[in-house]
Chain A
């Protein structure tokens, strides 16, 4: 329990006004070094902290503070951690998952929103927030008549602020592009990193699958879509540098699998890969336990691990240490390195979520495609 909370409950008589003041005067959860105390105020039969991260129980019970309507629980969170959570409040037998009413910091994802605990030493990166000095790139929509899927697909294309038709640009292909824009602030990050010369001005193709769990799970049609539909269209319609080194593909979770799979199916098409928390499930013996949606992923990963290839010259991998996939990601590293891939692997004290992926974009993109900051003095 944090000293702030201890001080409150050590009072002889605790008035409602004391609790009001306590709630008013503090930011929640209470972070005291590596101890983090979550607080809930209200009538309830029970309160649990729910965070789906590897290493902690999925439900962490709160204790009611005697004579009050305050509930609290303390967990230890290593320095630099960031976790997303909800509160599970049971009242009159009815269970509800809610955002933490005392915490204003929220992260959104395609399934809704979570409260965010920013542990001791974590700071939201300033390069991920709007910078009024950064010149803004533009987004435009494109339709691709996909031979691979036999139907049109819509993508968005990001053009850097300094885009000129007579210059040539590297290409970045992003899986779950709309989600990266919405939940990982990808456009802001691209604008800022380009402005700071940390990445070169680049053209970015943002794809979004209507059925990602099927299409991203080691699916040949999807790989064909990237290599034979998207790449030629981008090369025809935009001034791209005609070099494998200048083509990068990225994705998170199943998008990471789709990225690795496409590069594996079409070697010499993509020079760099950014793999964030890739769902690289595999089985050494017996059947995997991740459910049927992972069956094609496991088939692909087992095949890849059996005969690893060099899918690209440079690969940046990142994974949160609080996700179960950390094991699979760590396992992939030596396979790629054994094939001479120039690989960098970063672990973060975070879990399987969009803000983790956002926070790793700077180091990942600038390592794969370094900008001219060293040489340019504007």
Chain B
């Protein structure tokens, strides 16, 4: 199975049922060493003994969270610029959220409205296109912020950063497969981007669960309908690694989304189309290669009408 393009094995949360070991054993990833990126666990990064019990391959830790920490300790200008970038990103997200809220309320209202079908259809398309335009605009603004940071701290010209990247890439030469754990997706993306790992990871088989799977998408979409303070509209946060193009992955959708609310789900699907919005619940599994679905268990996609349907092997 593992010939040609690298594999992408995407899983849901590993609680309460763990399916990582079985999924990896069955997907044809091979028995070579595997690098584990657990930066999403932050200070608990590297605590991978539980994973060792599940996987027979040799596992080695790739501590990019701690590397970033060490780098910031050693390079104050870089750290200051990074902090400043993070502040700008937070502010940009705040401004985006202000506009997003109004557009989402309007779009949901239009999706619920009755009346002349032709007129309503036109308004629906327009309302959704406004949302999509805002998402695109937001991503452009986010990318500008990243670009300004990278122009200041070029990965090649900054010797400390370049040294870390060389060391990481050297470690990655040992393996054909990288495992990326779930956890804090923002922290994970920040570290992956800081060390510019997109290119080197694109050539590896990747096993990712939850946040680790989300990181592979074109865009990182944050979502949670059951926050104690009330629902929050899905937000585009930044570009992902783009290694599973055309998908928006939704870990633990059963618990995080109000899946029975058809209008909400329909808007989710139509807003992010043509990408497929795919749920990754506990025990689910999605194996992809070169854009094709090789195996799918308990994965559902949100259809345009807001219904959830099983994803089939293509």
- Say which residue of B15, B187, B224, B229 sits within 8 Å of A133 (CB atoms): B15
B186 within 8 A of A: yes
Cα–Cα distance between A375 and B40 once the two chains are bound (Å) = 10
Closest chain-A Cβ to B33's Cβ sits at a distance in Å of 25
Contact between A378 and B222, CB atoms less than 8 A apart: no
Main secondary structure, interface of B, reads mixed
13 of the cross-chain contacts (CB-CB < 8 Å) are: A164-B43, A166-B43, A193-B228, A366-B228, A367-B228, A374-B222, A374-B224, A374-B232, A375-B184, A377-B185, A377-B251, A378-B15, A378-B182
- List of B residues within 8 angstroms of A166 by Cβ: 43
The yes or no answer to A56 lying at the interface (CB within 8 A) is no
Q: How far is the CA of A164 from the CA of B47 in the complex (A)?
A: 11
Residues of B within 8 A of A366 (CB): 227-229
Bound Cα distance from A198 to B256, whole angstroms: 12
B279 CB, nearest partner CB in chain A, Å: 12
Which residue of chain A has the shortest Cβ distance to B228 in the bound complex? Answer: A366
Alpha-carbon separation in the docked complex, A167 to B47 (Å):
13
> Which residue of B184, B210, B214, B232 contacts A372 across the interface (Cβ within 8 Å)?
B184
**A9 at interface (Cβ–Cβ under 8 A)?**
no
Chain B residues in 8 Å Cβ range of A265: none
Interface residue A235 (Cβ < 8 Å from any Cβ of B):
no
**Complex Cα gap A376–B209 (Å):** 12
User: B227 to A198, Cβ gap below 8 A?
Assistant: yes
Q: Max chain A CB contacts within 10 Å: which of B15, B186, B228? A: B228
Q: Which of A167, A363, A375, A376 is close to B43, meaning CB atoms less than 8 Å apart?
A: A167
Please measure, in the bound complex, the distance between the C-alpha atom of A376 and the C-alpha atom of B214, giving whole angstroms: 11
The size bracket of the interface on B is 20 to 34
Check: B263 CB closer than 8 A to any chain A CB.
no
A373 close to B (CB within 8 Å): yes
Residues of B within 8 A of A370 (CB): 229
**A-contacting residues, B136-188, CB 8 Å:** 182-187
Find out whether the CB atom of A373 lies under 8 angstroms from the CB atom of B252: no
A373–B227 touching, CB < 8 Å: yes
A interface secondary structure, majority: loop
Minimum Cβ distance to chain B for residue A55 (Å): 28
Answer whether residue B115 sits at the interface, using C-beta atoms and an 8 A cutoff: no
- 1/0 per residue A308-335: CB within 8 Å of B? 0000000000000000000000000000
How many Å lie between the Cα of A232 and that of B251 in the bound state?
Answer: 41
- B residues near A (Cβ < 8 Å) are 13-16, 40, 43-44, 182-187, 210-211, 214, 222, 224, 227-229, 232, 251-252
Assess A376 versus B183: contact at CB under 8 Å? Given A133-B16, A164-B44: yes
Output the nearest chain A residue to B222 by Cβ-Cβ distance.
A374
**A373–B227 alpha-carbon span in the complex (Å):** 8
Which residues of B are found within 8 Å of A164, using beta-carbon distances? 43-44
Residues of B within 8 A of A363 (CB): 228-229
Residue of B nearest to A370 (CB): B229
Q: Is there contact, CB below 8 Å, between B183 and A377?
A: yes
B20 CB to nearest A CB, Å: 13
CB distance from B309 to the nearest CB of A (A): 22
Once bound together, how far apart are the Cα atoms of A68 and B301, in whole Å? 62
For A378, the chain B residues whose CB sits under 8 A away are: 13-15, 182-183, 210-211, 252
**A372 CA to B252 CA, complexed, in Å:** 15
**Closest 4 pairs (CB-CB, A-B):** A377-B210, A366-B228, A377-B211, A377-B251
Residues of A within 8 A of B232 (CB): 374
- Indicate if A162 sits at the interface (CB-CB under 8 A): yes
